[in-house]
Amino acid sequence: DTAVSQTPKYLVTQMGNDKSIKCEQNLGHDTMYWYKQDSKKFLKIMFSYNNKELIINETVPNRFSPKSPDKAHLNLHINSLELGDSAVYFCASSFSPDTQYFGPGTRLTVL
């Protein structure tokens, strides 16, 4: 019955590595989002995709690349990880521009 799911829940990696986080929603929504929550709990949008098309692209380093293979999936690939990338990353989905439903989050720790 999971509405928005993310894998993995925890990700610990070394600086310089490349990693991916996956997101899937079974709500039939047409829009998916990635948010970053920093250590002070501040939530900031990074990207949104509507029907596999990039809609929102905030000022995010180009080391971050979202990919949407279909409407139900939005993955986030991060190249050359840095210490400052450590955060909790949340995926969300909606019938744009309506209510957004969040996933459980992926805690990324870069050592």
Q: How far apart are CA 111 and CA 108, in angstroms?
A: 10
- Residue 104 found at the interface with other proteins (CB under 8 A): yes
Local structure of residue 80 (DSSP, 8 states): S
CB of 90 to other proteins, least distance (A): 6
Q: Which stretch binds other proteins (CB under 8 A): 14-22, 50-58, 60-68, 73-81?
A: 50-58
Interface mask toward other proteins for 11-40; x: CB under 8 A: --------------------x-x------x
Residue 63 in contact with residue 70, Cβ under 8 Å?
Answer: no
- Residue 50 found at the interface with other proteins (CB under 8 A): yes
Burial class (CB in 10 A: 0-12, 13-18, 19+), 69: exposed
